[in-house]
Chains A and B, each alone.
Chain A
Amino acid sequence: MLKMEGVQKIYRTDLVQTHALRSLSLEVEEGEFVAVTGPSGSGKTTFLNIAGLLETFDGGRYTLDGKDVSGLSDRERSKIRNVKIGFIFQSFNLIPDLNVYDNVDVPLRYRGLGGGDRDKRIKDALERVGLASRLKHLPSQLSGGQQQRVAIARALAGSPRILFADEPTGNLDSLMAREVMNMLEEINVQGTTIVMVTHDPELARRMHRNIHIMDGQASDFDHGSDSRSDAPVDRIAPRIVASV
């Protein structure tokens, strides 16, 4: 589904060069739910931006859904983001001036879908996240958890092949965070590949597999088949760090 080999990313400003990714290699199979962990500043968001085609990279190879994406034009990248990828952001990133319905509609309009098709997709997606009754609400009239569920609906409405989530529960209290995580797991069970960045070891523990990024390089950590069991958090977290 997603394969990076020796991917590098260097941020250049006038004074400094930051090697945000040194030589990142990793693979995500179709249907997986992968957590990307690592300390702050280690390059998790950079990885997610490159994986989600939000940013270009400086070296290495990256194939997404069987396609080498390094040479694509901005337009082609936009199209892939629009059709194949769904994004969920830490700060929800709903458009404040648009109501729930119109927010979910945004990517569908860029796709040029017909009105009837869009309407059905919007309502189905909002149904799935349990917000079918809030179509006319503005984001400011919703709780954080509800806003994130609208964002999930927006990501799902386009039936993406893969979902990228950057700290999706980072701005939520634990109750709402659990709600959102349950939803993502359900979506994954229904077949959508999910790559989630988190620095929360408890969340990471629930995933099939953890990819730990440290200093712009990744190391894999497989929880095995029983990874969703209630293994104590403090046993896992040190192991992740230790494995680097």
Chain B
Amino acid sequence: MEIRPILSALSRNKTGAFLIAAQIALTFAITINAAYVIRDRLATAARPSGVDDEDRVVAVRFAMTSSQNIDALQQRDVATLRGVPGVESVAITNQIPFGGGGWSGGFAVGNTRESPNVNAGMVFDNGDVLKTLGVKVIEGRYFTPDEIMVIDPDTSRDTPPVVLVTRELAKAMFPSGESVLGKTIYLGNTPDAPAVRIIGVIGLMETPWASVSAKHLYSVVFPQRLLQTENQYLLRLKPGALEQTKQAVLAALAKNDPDRVAGRDGLASIAKMRAKRYRGEHAVAGLLIAVTVFLLIVTASGIVGMASLWVNLRRKQIGVRRALGATRGDIVRYFVTENLLITGTGVVAGVIAAQLLNAALVRQMTLPQLPWPGLAFGVVALIVLGVGSVLGPAVRASRLSPALATRSV
């Protein structure tokens, strides 16, 4: 409505307006980038693991004493654990999603030096792992019982001849999109690398390290039970059975082998391990959220403070404007328009500053560039913040009496 006179009035109060605009620009540049990092980290932490119910799948990790017959003990343990009330299935494996440590190897489509190596997790499945995790075969078939090999690493260097691969790994190794069923891949790209045949493809399955790159979903599942002293059992529990089952499971395991040393976590659900894995992401996001909220509060307070000051300095003028026919709405509009001009200038400068800051961040960290919809949302959000902050002082101004025009203040 009356932009030109507001501008010319503003041009005579440049310092305050400039400070607020600069503050808004800075806030915009920092919060938009912070919001972007927050979103990035939270999205990482929320990635699905492929485990259908992370609260019900738990892992027990321990080291056995080597005097035991590992093969016999593993079978005894599985039988005992299946008998514990609340336990639905039991599997023996070498690694678990979010477990932290595990096996990985380079896989290649050919056994020559030219074949690129793709690093992937190696999951040893005793025949119960996928069922226990709730991970499904989406193409091809699962292992038959007689394909499951029992391998003692001290005496054997055997590799099972058939494997399952995750869909993401299949795509990475065979980008053309053809079916990978029946294809042979090699454990390494050397002439003596063992060859394995793909008989099935599974959907999502998180690796133990859950890295940030796309590789976190690359795994090869081998049909084998490894007779090693470091063991991990995976249990699938009935819903809500975790607390009541915990002691019974640990007691049963202790009874089968009193000398065994349970891992630090004892019995830990996948959900718990996920939380532990993404603690860093959540910490960064939390810190940045705190910084963002703090900045927004400071900026809003700055606007409220400046607007209140201006209302107080212009009490007489507001009364005069009211006397000359301004309605309360006109007065509110005046301050809101003035604020929009300042905020708008600040936000435009902020968009530029945000791009510069983002460019620096993209160079420092692995972050994609700011998306335009995010910027647009930020622009709208800050303008709403600005208008919201000025509304209080503006309404207070509109309640000033027109009689201020004749009463000296």
Contact = CB atoms under 8 A, between A and B. Distances in A.
Interface of A: 45, 48-49, 52-55, 74-75, 78-79, 81-83, 87, 89-91, 93, 95-99, 102, 105-107, 109-111, 154, 158, 166
B316 A93 contact: yes
A97 B326 contact: no
The 9 closest A-B pairs by CB, nearest first: A82-B325, A97-B9, A107-B324, A54-B402, A110-B325, A78-B327, A93-B320, A54-B403, A97-B12
A91 B327 contact: no
A98 B316 CA distance: 14
Given A98-B8, A109-B1, A78 B325 contact: yes
A110 B5 contact: no
A90 B408 CA distance: 10
Contacts of A54: 322-323, 401-403, 405-406
A91 B408 contact: yes
Contacts of A158: 325
Nearest to B1: A109
B321 A97 contact: no
B5 A105 contact: yes
B8 A87 contact: no
19 contacts: A52-B323, A54-B322, A54-B405, A78-B322, A78-B327, A78-B328, A83-B325, A87-B323, A89-B320, A93-B320, A93-B323, A97-B13, A98-B9, A106-B5, A107-B324, A109-B5, A110-B325, A110-B326, A154-B324
B152 interface: no
Contacts of B325: 78-79, 81-83, 107, 110-111, 158
Interface residues of B, number: 27
B101 to A, nearest CB: 70
B68 interface: no
Contacts of B2: 109
Nearest to B317: A95
Contacts of A90: 406
A54 to B, nearest CB: 4
Among B13, B316, B320, B326, the most chain A Cβ lie within 10 Å of the Cβ of B320
B8 A81 contact: no
